[in-house]
Amino acid sequence: MDDKFEFLMIGAMYENGGNTTQRLLDGHPELYSYPYESQPGTKYVNDHLTSVFPNKYRWPAFVLHDTTDRDYETIIDEECKVRIKTPSSSKFRDHPIELSDKDRKAAFVRLMQDRPRTRGNLMAAFFRATSETWRDSRKTGREHVHVGYSPIIVVDAEKILTDLPHAHVLHVVRNPWSAYADTKKRAVPLSIEHYMTGWCLNQMYAFAARDRFPGRAHVLRYEDIVVDPVGVLSGVLAKMGVGSSPTLAKPSWNGREIETVHPWGTIRTPTSEANRRTAAELSAEEADDIRRRTKHLLPVLGYENVP
């Protein structure tokens, strides 16, 4: 793989607007947007964060004794593999996609021929193979940047930006009250303690990456994106040599505008009004507990007076 692989990885704590941001970028004529959460992690990820975040959301680890054939199989990529292998089991079953796992794997192995088995090369092959074999993808012919999204992956931003010298990481943060209120709607919600530990860690890693990789690691607030998606997202894209586009104004799937972000995420309607209403769903006790656990980060992010 050459070192010119242009890549934008979106990260966000759960229900912080990562899916919304990916869907806003989906229809851009210069971007190859991954169809679902990328979930590039493998079972070999094992570090000090393993007990906090699922392996599937992490930047992968590979083992020396494997082959590229096995490398492909170890990439978890749960949402996509379930959709294309067992579509009736997927929450995306009502959204057509022509993508064969067999064809994608063959393309992945071919793209890695005569290439060093570095993590950067393997990830570049993974995203390129997906865009190459997605048969009904509405391509414009102008695409040159691949876009992925995996929750909490900002904790691995330094690995991503080191492995891929032409990559950028975009971290999206949402006020913790709205975020937790939406997280409570999951079938198995996290406790406030567990969730806020992850939320705080995400912001700390995002700030550290931005300091180490200025101009390549970016932090945006969900609240700002929903007010002016074209203006706010264009600012980041410009740093990658990507122009603005009116398509940034509305979420889409495979270039077709969608009314709600669901089922890509719990956030259904990405508006300021809906965001405020969501925060108000919490009890006073929950709101106070969240403030206590996040208060040192709130002024840095402009959330002192929320909710």
**pLDDT tens per residue, range 263-293:** 887 788 889 999 999 999 999 999 999 999 9
* Residue 11: strand, helix, or coil: strand
| Position 152 pLDDT exceeds 50 | yes
Q: What is the pLDDT of residues 47-70, one digit of tens each?
A: 999 999 999 999 999 999 999 999
**How large a percentage of the chain has pLDDT more than 70?**
99
Report residue 117 as tokens.
């088995």
Angle of CA points 36, 40, 43, to nearest 5°: 135
Residue 202 CB contacts under 8 Å (≥ 6 apart), including other chains = 11, 12, 13, 16, 152, 154, 155, 171, 173
Residue 72: count of CB within 10 angstroms of its CB: 22
Question: Nearest Cα to 198, choosing from 170, 173, 222, 218?
Answer: 173
Structure-model confidence comparison of residues 208 and 263, the more confident one: 208
pLDDT of 120? 97
Distance of CA 217 to CAs 64, 146, 172, Å? Answer: 29, 16, 11
Under 8 Å between Cβ of 27 and 257: yes
pLDDT recorded at residue 247: 97
pLDDT grade, residue 307 (50/70/90)? confident
Angle, in degrees to the nearest 10, between helices 192-212 and 284-294: 30
Q: What is the pLDDT of residues 210-258, one digit of tens each?
A: 999 999 999 999 999 999 999 999 999 999 999 999 999 999 999 999 9
| CA–CA distances in Å: residue 236 to residues 16, 122, 241, 292 | 18, 25, 9, 32
Cα atoms found within 13 Å of the Cα of residue 135, Cβ hemisphere only: 9
φ/ψ (deg, to 5) at 252: -145, 165
Cα separation, 231 vs 229, whole angstroms = 6
Name the 3-class secondary structure at 230.
helix
**By the 8 A CB rule, do 123 and 164 touch?**
yes
> 10 Å Cβ neighbour count for 163?
19
Looking at residue 3, its pLDDT comes to: 64
- For the segment 149-162, the average pLDDT, to the nearest whole number, is 98
Q: Which long-range contacts (CB under 8 A, 24 or more apart) does 111-115 make?
A: 111/1, 112/1, 112/68, 112/71, 115/1
pLDDT score, position 267 = 83
What single letter denotes the amino acid at residue 120? G
Q: Is the dihedral of CA 44, 45, 47, 50 positive or negative?
A: negative
- Local confidence band at 260 (pLDDT 50, 70, 90 cut-offs): confident
Query: At residue 1, does pLDDT exceed 60?
Result: no
- Are 42 and 150 within 8 A, CB to CB? no
Instruction: Residue 197: count other Cβ atoms within 10 Å of its Cβ.
Output: 14
Can you tell me whether residue 170 is helix, strand or coil?
Answer: strand
Query: Whole-angstrom Cα distance, residue 19 to residue 11?
Result: 9
Choose between 36 and 2: higher pLDDT. 36
Average pLDDT, integer, range 186-214: 96
DSSP code of 111? H
For residue 298, count other CB atoms closer than 10 A to its CB: 17
